[in-house]
Amino acid sequence: MTTYLLAGGGTAGHVNPLLAVADRLRERHPDATVLVLGTKEGLESRLVPERGYELLTIDRVPLPRRPDRSAARFPARLRGTIDAVRAIIRDRGVDVVVGFGGYVSAPAYLAARAEKVPFAIHEANARPGIANRLGARFTRFVGTAVPGTRIRGGQFVGMPLRREIEQLDRFEGRRAGIRAFGLDDSKPTLLVTGGSSGAKRINDTISQSVTLILGAGWQVIHVTGEYRDAVDDPNLPGYLVLKYADRMDLALAVADLAVARAGTATVAELCALGVPAVFVPYAVGNGEQRFNARGAVEAGGAVIVDDAAFTPDWVARELVPLLRNRALIAEMAARIATVGVLDGTDRMVDLVEQAQSVK
């Protein structure tokens, strides 16, 4: 019986592909044990136990950005987390480690190497994170969600998608979504989402501009995110405000166009389902969100607007004319679907099994 240790977490972009791979491993190998390594603070602390997996936690050890006291303590703290993961590998008889990036992945990779346990990596972003760049030095089993990602040994597998997305029938899903959200079947739907934590710029601009969007003949599902201040709901017909969408699959099924951040999971799901998009990349970080969306934009299935430029004036000047051009939106839908991948979960699990076979 094989024991898998899946390491990752923090945000939905790490947790969702981890859970997709965990589910597929359990389906392929019902007798296997699937463990998840994360932190107590990340989104995994809630989502992993809810999915029925055992969550093992270690402390977050972020890489110091400046030479201060935390930098001086970093080597000892890192050794401590590596030792903790090595103990888990030995005590639980782990046969293979799979990392998805984030705080816990670097200690997992180094522990696996020290214990001579094979490991595989999934890199979600077009610009790889530090943990995965480190891990890629010690394994040749590196899957990427974005073609052309510059990481040692990387091979394109796509984004592991949740089963409800992977197997979504958009025709039947649309009918179910119209009922579930109380929408008008005769109107097109704009889906607005800033990801699991939300996006203040998107929330503010859409809430201030929603009458323009409704006036263009559209209805709106606005998912504001769990960790942002609530958006005041004006209770306008055709404007549905949700803090969290329990049935995001149905929201995607009814969407004719999306306004969203460009996290890899969001980009991957929209491309796979053929939902054209206006991407508003997160302005902080190393710019990976803009690169995540590049394939969809180059295919003609999406447009990008800078975070600072996404204002009510931009909505009036650019978005509303787009909403009125239904033929162009239909063409964008066909184009974005050409860069979508629905079998990323199976491809990544195949890579994990290849890593396991060389032990």
| Widest pairwise Cα distance in the chain | 62
Q: Confidence band (pLDDT; 50, 70, 90) for 66?
A: low
CATH fold of the domain at 3-161+342-357: Rossmann fold (3.40.50)
E-assigned strands of 201-270?
Answer: 219-223, 239-242, 257-260
Average pLDDT for 306-321: 97
Contact 63, 92 (CB under 8 A): no
Cα→Cα distances 344→196, 201, 225, Å: 21, 31, 26
Supply φ then ψ for residue 94, to 5 degrees. -70, 130
- Check: CATH 3.40.50.2000 for 164-337? yes
Average pLDDT, the chain: 91
Pairwise pLDDT comparison (232 vs 122), residue with the higher score: 122
Q: How far apart are CA 311 and CA 306, in angstroms?
A: 10
Burial of residue 321 (number of CB atoms within 10 Å: 0-12, 13-18, 19+): exposed
Per-residue model confidence as pLDDT tens digits over 37-57: 998 887 888 889 999 999 999
pTM for the structure as a whole: 0.86
pLDDT given for residue 286 in this prediction: 63
**pLDDT 10s digits, 168-188:** 999 999 999 999 999 999 999
Contact 255, 314 (CB under 8 A): no
Domain boundaries, the chain: 3-161+342-357, 164-337
* Intrachain domains 3-161+342-357 and 164-337 with the same fold: yes
